Structure 1
Amino acid sequence: MAYFQFQITKVMARKRLVVLVVSVLLPIYSQAFDSKATGFRAAVVKVDITPEGHQMLLGYGARKSTGVNDRIYHRIVVMDDGKTQFVLVSSDICVMSPAEYDRVAARLKKQLGIDPVNFWWNLTHTHSAPELGPPGLPALFMANRYEHHFDSDYAEVTEKKLIDGIAEARQKLVLARLGVGWGLSQANINRRAKDIDGKAYLGMDPDGAVDRRIGVLRLDKEDGSPLALLANYAIHGTVLSGENLLISGDAPGVVAEYVEQKLGVPMLFINGAAGNIAPIYSGYPNPKAGRMNQFRVLLGEKILAANKSISATTNDISLKTASLIVETPRKPELGWIDELKDYTRTTKAGVNMVKLPVRFLQINDDIAIWSAPLELFCEISNEIRDRSPFPYTFYFGYGNGWLGYLLTEEEIKHGGYEVTVSPFTPVAAQHLTDSVVNHLQGKK
């Protein structure tokens, strides 16, 4: 009798253990299942990258900062549809070498398992931010500007903050919704002034090509409260001139901070095809002279209006990433930078080519975003947007590095500063346009 009572006790103990295990694990599995079933999650992190000491500033001639006007940041968004996890970063930096992007992308792949095709690092293009990493292609065009060594300590700190920020965002993913819309701002102007001889100079051309559309993506939490905003607008970060020695996010930074104050969440300012587009106030020695705070109204209020116009959001989100290499001849007799050897090749016929990486993000069936490491002229992105089958087509500029200005064939004829810092020939615009449009239209 004692033996059978012992066996019954063992069976009951096993049953209690099974019930305990199920009661503990079932909620965990249910949460995982619900997360995948619901699909879309997102998170945002804002990280201060303002240096403590003086730094060489990038933009204009070589010069060292003497202080800080406004702080600069990494702003990081992670989106996850259950299959694809996409990382978008907007940093208050002017430009960087594609080799700098490659180094950070490799670290992210090793440490966090993020495929580079799903990691986009876009820069706001402020001309009053510190240098970040080795100069890359600019040293080819402006060797005298880079007689000093870059600050490797600042680069390491900034890179670590980026990687840590991405890791933090991945831990903060919450169920989310996404909405999209358009806005309009006249805060910019074509900067390719032309004299009677047809030659182009840095200035203002009220009749020149421009892109004044604002592309807006809004991320909300599942309950409808705001999570983050992304605003895509073409404008040079040149309200402040080379006389300014204070670190600043320039107009993009001022606008982002203003929108964040109004909404209570971070805003990623994503620059567009700003190669030939300046702010309407440009080249001033200090923020007051440049009316920099007026951009809170000129652009910030327009972004807020565009945000309000988004009447619907959805949690039914599909993210698809892709990439391609556009090959186009580089200028004859133009040299190259050793660290960028992966971005060029020589054909059997002896023609030196630029290997231009282009990234794509498709969100559902109506949003297409493409990005390249270029200072692109707006006519090119305008044409691609007009020919795209997607109703919302955005160009995210200064993405994953800088390989120079890419002008239209017509604008190259007028010369000017941009032509001198471009590695491309007149056929490059057509090569890029055809490649991107074919991809967006689903053509091989």
Structure 2
Amino acid sequence: MPMIGPSAFQGVSPMRLLWCLIACLTFASTCLAADDPSLRVGVAKTVITPAEPVQLAGYASRKDLSTGVHDDLTARALVLELGGSRLALVSVDLIGFYGDTADPLRTAIISRTGLEPSQLFLCAIHTHSGPTLGLDPKTTHANNVRFTEGLKGKLADLVASAIANLQPASFSLGAGSSPVGANRRELRISAKGESSIVLGRNPYGPTDKEVQVLRIVKADGSPLAVAFNYATHATSLGPANLIVSGDL
């Protein structure tokens, strides 16, 4: 049987992927030995706010370094274990893992935790008010290189902490809706009657309003974690903003 690795899921939202993986884990649990049927879940969270001014990602026209912090950036780890198999999902308040930074970060986490590459998934919320990642000093500001280097240890410790906190748990799935997202393909008509599509706000255009929610509780029924997914572009603060923020 051919092996399926992370590259097979490119373009799939992390939350949809997580739902599929949990469904597979649930189905697989019926095939496990009776003495090892339980799902265990571990969670951890850490602050990753840059300690010095950095280049902010998302707008090529924005050249100045950040001037302050509106709200802390965080990284969160969710580790699921069933029948000895583990799955780790790491979500960070960043725009993405550009500049060939995903592999070094993954390597640091895998080296620290012993996870297999196929057991680890990185995702970013795509805020346009967080630091640009980069390890090449020729193309990336020195402050951002230091931030990226520091992220290796922080994410490795984060996932290790989530694994150390594994405990019996159960989950439920749900869905709701939110009006926050907007279609940005705005139709404009000039004085000459010529039409064009611009980057604006189209209240009549299609958008995905669904909020997918995964609720995880401890063995005693108390909350352990909530994971959710919503399709929107985290650009609320705009290109003139120089304040670090997770945005939406």
TM-score in same-fold range (> 0.5): yes
Q: How does 1:25-104 map to 2 (within 5 A)?
A: 37-60=36-59, 61-97=62-98, 99-104=100-105
Q: How does 1:147-158 map to 2 (within 5 A)?
A: 148=141, 151-158=144-151
Task: Decide whether aligned partners of structure 1 residues 99 and 35 sit closer, same or farther in structure 2, where only a CA change above 3 A counts.
Answer: farther
Which residue of structure 1 aligns with residue 209 of structure 2?
212
Indicate whether 1:222 and 2:219 are aligned.
yes
CA-atom RMSD in angstroms: 2.1
Distance in 2, matches of 1:164 and 1:238, equals 30
Distance in 2, matches of 1:147 and 1:162, equals 21
Distance in 2, matches of 1:35 and 1:109, equals 30
Higher relative CO (Cα under 8 Å, sequence separation at least 6) belongs to 2
The Cα shift of 1:205 comes to: 1.2
Q: Which amino acid aligns with 2:42?
A: A
More helix by share: 1
- Please tell me whether the aligned partners of residues 112 and 160 of structure 2 are also in contact (alpha carbons under 8 angstroms): no
Task: Decide whether aligned partners of structure 1 residues 64 and 35 sit closer, same or farther in structure 2, where only a CA change above 3 A counts.
Answer: farther
The Cα shift of 1:115 comes to: 1.7
Q: Which amino acid aligns with 1:101?
A: A
The Cα shift of 1:99 comes to: 2.4
Which residue of structure 1 aligns with residue 124 of structure 2?
123
- Please tell me whether the aligned partners of residues 54 and 141 of structure 2 are also in contact (alpha carbons under 8 angstroms): no
Q: Which amino acid aligns with 2:241?
A: N
The Cα shift of 1:200 comes to: 2.6
Distance in 1, matches of 2:122 and 2:147, equals 18
Task: Decide whether aligned partners of structure 1 residues 52 and 88 sit closer, same or farther in structure 2, where only a CA change above 3 A counts.
Answer: same
Distance in 2, matches of 1:98 and 1:56, equals 14
Runs of 4+ residues deviating >6 angstroms = none
User: In structure 2, the residue corresponding to 1:42 is in which secondary structure?
Assistant: strand
Which residue of structure 1 aligns with residue 241 of structure 2?
244
Residues 174-203 of structure 1 deviation map (CA, whole Å, 9 limit, x = unaligned): 000011001111111101113345533210
Which of 181, 190, 207 aligns to 2:183? It is 190
Q: How does 1:321-400 map to 2 (within 5 A)?
A: none
Which residue of structure 1 aligns with residue 115 of structure 2?
114
Q: Which amino acid aligns with 1:68?
A: V
Distance in 2, matches of 1:97 and 1:147, equals 11
User: In structure 2, the residue corresponding to 1:211 is in which secondary structure?
Assistant: coil
User: In structure 2, the residue corresponding to 1:88 is in which secondary structure?
Assistant: strand
Which residue of structure 2 aligns with residue 166 of structure 1?
159
The Cα shift of 1:95 comes to: 2.1
Distance in 1, matches of 2:210 and 2:144, equals 37
User: In structure 1, the residue corresponding to 2:182 is in which secondary structure?
Assistant: strand
Q: Which sections of structure 2, spanning at least 5 residues, go unmatched?
A: 1-32
- Please tell me whether the aligned partners of residues 58 and 127 of structure 1 are also in contact (alpha carbons under 8 angstroms): yes
| Residues paired across the two proteins, number | 208
Which residue of structure 2 aligns with residue 352 of structure 1?
none
Task: Decide whether aligned partners of structure 1 residues 53 and 208 sit closer, same or farther in structure 2, where only a CA change above 3 A counts.
Answer: same
Distance in 1, matches of 2:246 and 2:48, equals 11
Task: Decide whether aligned partners of structure 1 residues 157 and 83 sit closer, same or farther in structure 2, where only a CA change above 3 A counts.
Answer: same
